[in-house]
Amino acid sequence: MTSGSERSCSFEEYKETADWLLAYTNQRPKVAIICGSGLGGLADLLENKTVVPYQDIPGFPQSTVHGHAGQLVYGELNGKQCVCMQGRFHFYEGYPITKVTFPVRVFHLLGVETLIVTNAAGGLNPDFKVGDIMLIKDHLNIPGFAGQNPLCGPNDERFGKRFPCMSDAYDKDLCQMAMETAQDLGYSDFIQQGVYCMLGGPSFETIAECLMLSRLGADAVGMSTVPEVVMARHCGMRVFGLSLITNKAVMDYNSKQKANHEEVLQTAKMRAKDLQKLVSCLLAKIE
C-alpha cells in the first residue's frame, strides 16, 4: 500500500503520456468526462469514436474495479469533442493519490478546458431517494484532512499556483445550466443539489460515520471524485459534478439494510440513460 509520502509525478511523466495520446489520435477534446461505477455508458453515446485501452497508454494506471471498463474513449457528443474515462482510479486500489489523479493533468496538457465528473454515491440526506441524481455544489475532502491531497509535495507552476481556491470548485454557471436542462427534460422529480463527501474506502461506512457526516453537512458519500476535482481546479479547468444516488446510507441501528456494490451497479443501470441524456444535453449548451 502506498502512502502520502509517495513521490509526485514529474512534468515529464505527464508530458510523455500526453504526447503519446496526441500522436495516437488527431482528435482534440475540450471536455473530459470521468465515468463512475456503472456509468461508463456515457462513452457509448460518442460518435466517431477512438478507443484506447489504459494498458496501452504509457504511465497510465489500470482500473481494477468491477463496473469500470478501463479505457479512454475519444469522440463527439452534441457537437463537442470529448474524451471519456470508462473507469477511474481509486485510493483504495492501492494507488498513491498522484496516480489516482494522473489523467487530469494529462487532459490539461491535451487542451481539455472542462471536466465533468460522475460517481455512484450513498444518500445521506433523508429527502434523497435511490435513483436521484445530485448536482454537486460542494464537497468534503475527508482524506485531505489527513494529508492525502494530490497537491502535496513540490508545486509545479506550469500546472497552477501553490494554494488554489476551492470555494468555487464546482462551476456555478454549469450547475445552473444543468438544473435548467433537467427541468426541460422533465427530470425535476429526481434532480437534487448537495454536498458530496469522499472517504477512502473500500469498506462502506458505519452507522456512526454516516450520522457524523450528515451532521457535518454531507448529502451523499462515496470513495472518489474529490482528488480529481482538486487537481482539475489547480489546472484552471471548469468542473461540473454529478452523483447518482445508488443506495441509502444506513443510519438506523435497527435497520436490516446493508450497502453492497451489486446494488450500486444495479441502480446505476436503472438510471444511466437519464444521466447520459442530461450530460449530453448540457454539453450542447457549453460554449
CA distance 273 to 275: 5
Q: Is the dihedral of CA 229, 233, 234, 236 positive or negative?
A: positive
Question: Which architecture does CATH list for 11-285?
Answer: 3-Layer(aba) Sandwich (3.40)
Distance of CA 166 to the CA centre of its chain: 16
The model scores a pTM over 0.75: yes
Tens-of-pLDDT digits for all 287 residues of the chain? Answer: 344 445 689 999 999 999 999 999 999 999 999 998 777 888 888 999 999 999 999 999 987 776 557 899 999 998 899 999 998 999 999 999 999 999 999 999 999 999 999 999 999 999 999 999 999 999 999 999 999 999 999 999 999 999 999 999 999 999 999 999 999 999 999 999 999 999 999 999 999 999 999 999 999 999 999 999 999 999 999 999 999 999 898 888 988 777 777 766 777 777 888 999 999 999 999 87
CB of 38 closer than 8 Å to CB of 269: yes
CA distance 213 to 124: 8
Residue with cell 508545486: 155
Structure confidence at residue 267 (pLDDT): 73
Structure confidence at residue 66 (pLDDT): 64
Cβ neighbours of 215 (radius 10 Å): 9
Report, as residue numbers or ranges, the catalytic residues. Answer: 37, 68, 90, 92-93, 120, 223-224, 247, 261
Distance of CA 146 to the CA centre of its chain: 21
CB of 273 closer than 8 Å to CB of 172: no
Contacts of 44-51 with CB under 8 Å at 24 or more apart are 45/77, 45/276, 45/280, 46/73, 46/74, 46/75, 46/76, 46/77, 46/82, 46/84, 47/75, 47/76, 47/77, 48/75, 48/76, 49/73, 49/74, 49/75, 50/24, 50/25, 50/74, 50/75
